[in-house]
Amino acid sequence: MKAVQFSDHGRRDVLEYGEFDDPEIERDEVLVDVKAGALNHLDVFTRMGLGALERLELEMPHIPGSDAAGVVDDVGTDVERFEPGDRVAVSAGLSCGHCEFCRDGDPTLCTDFQIIGEHVRGVHSEQAAVPAENLVPVPEGVDWETAAAAPLVFQTAWRMLVTRADLQPGESILVLGASGGVGHAAVQIADYLGAEVYATASTEEKLAYAADVGADHTINYDEENFADAIADATGGRGVDVVVDHIGKATWQDSLGSLAKGGTVVTCGATTGRNPETDLNSIFWNQLEVHGSTMGTPGEVDDVLELVWEGAFEPRIRKTLPMSDIQRAHEIIEEREGFGKVVVVPDSEL
């Protein structure tokens, strides 16, 4: 089969699309004919060898990619939930199933939590062997781009807002980087939950798009400091919740945008992981800082049901053949456009 792959970590030119050994399924795995894959910023970090806490140690060559959707081709002997011909999407979180956190029912806290595409071979390939428990059914009528683009960012944003921040109707929320994958999902979910949604982006086009997917107020962070804008808009009060996946460039202003007792939720730090933090602002204003990673199977089911129903829509900014994988990574790294970048096996085009 053909697969996106790299043999060394580095810049975009380490990526190539070429022949790779056909995957073989284990007893609990499903062989999926991939119809579409989607990119996340995670793919860039993985390519560079940067894990969340430490450098990645991958078996090379590595196939990247955490999001994909396709048709079941074959199933392992222990698999009962799926059969050949089923339409499925990949949900990339891997947990051990027996540590104290898995036993307590929250596999996202697993002491050995891993992500398909980051820690183990991913799914930007013509075929992929995926554990059955990492697949969700995709109804007829949902197109492959939507099915591939939704799982990672919508489960991430859903857990951040619903589980971690406990966002309530009528509360106010600021979503930073609303044109990115997690950002545009968070805006849609916050709007659906009945919150008052503020969103930042860097161009008028991206701001119009954020408004289109549910933001009530938009802030161009290139033209004004977003914490000042929030203070102006809220009479100095601040917002109840801030969604920050930017990190170093925004952290201090995220804290400064919160109302007393407010909550900042972070799921990533694309501009750097070691920002300055004014601890006095945290204790005096009694702020809460919540981390969040991926989603539990229950959270995945809840949010994808809403995607399949059409309540949420992953916007596709660009669809490219997998052979254009370097360009796909460039769009993510250069923050061009808004929404998700999708890659399709060349043989499917």
Binding stretches for Zn ion (CB under 5 A): 95-96, 99, 102, 110
Indicate the SS3 state at residue 173. Answer: strand
Minimum distance of Zn ion from residue 43's CB (angstroms): 24
Residue entry with tokens 């991913």:
122
Minimum distance of Zn ion from residue 107's CB (angstroms): 6
Minimum distance of Zn ion from residue 296's CB (angstroms): 12
Q: Are strands 340-344 and 316-321 parallel, antiparallel or unpaired?
A: parallel
Closer CB to Zn ion, 33 or 118, in the complex: 118
Residues whose CB falls within 8 Å of the CB of residue 9, separated by 6 or more in sequence, listed in order: 47, 48, 49, 56
CB 148 within 8 A of CB 216: no
Write out the two tokens for 198.
Answer: 């503020």
Closer CB to Zn ion, 103 or 260, in the complex: 103
Distance CA 163, CA 171 (A): 15
Minimum distance of Zn ion from residue 203's CB (angstroms): 42
Closer CB to Zn ion, 112 or 305, in the complex: 112
- List the alpha helices (DSSP H) in 126-200: 144-149, 151-158, 181-192
Closer CB to Zn ion, 105 or 310, in the complex: 105
Closer CB to Zn ion, 100 or 224, in the complex: 100
Minimum distance of Zn ion from residue 94's CB (angstroms): 9
Minimum distance of Zn ion from residue 103's CB (angstroms): 8
Residue entry with tokens 């859903």:
158
Closer CB to Zn ion, 69 or 94, in the complex: 94
Closer CB to Zn ion, 99 or 289, in the complex: 99
Closer CB to Zn ion, 18 or 105, in the complex: 105
- Is the Cα torsion angle 290, 293, 297, 302 positive or negative in sign? positive
Residue 247 has a CB neighbour count (10 Å cut-off) of 18
Indicate the SS3 state at residue 207. Answer: helix
Closer CB to Zn ion, 102 or 241, in the complex: 102
φ/ψ region of 205 (left if φ > 0, alpha if ψ in -120 to 50, else beta) reads: alpha
Minimum distance of Zn ion from residue 110's CB (angstroms): 3
Select from 115, 110, 26, 111 the least CA-distant residue to 62.
115
Minimum distance of Zn ion from residue 109's CB (angstroms): 8
CB 175 within 8 A of CB 244: no
Minimum distance of Zn ion from residue 290's CB (angstroms): 20
Select from 303, 306, 301, 253 the least CA-distant residue to 278.
253
DSSP-assigned states of every residue in 302-327 = HHHHHHHHTSS---EEEEEEGGGHHH
Q: What is the DSSP letter of 162?
A: I
CB 54 within 8 A of CB 88: no
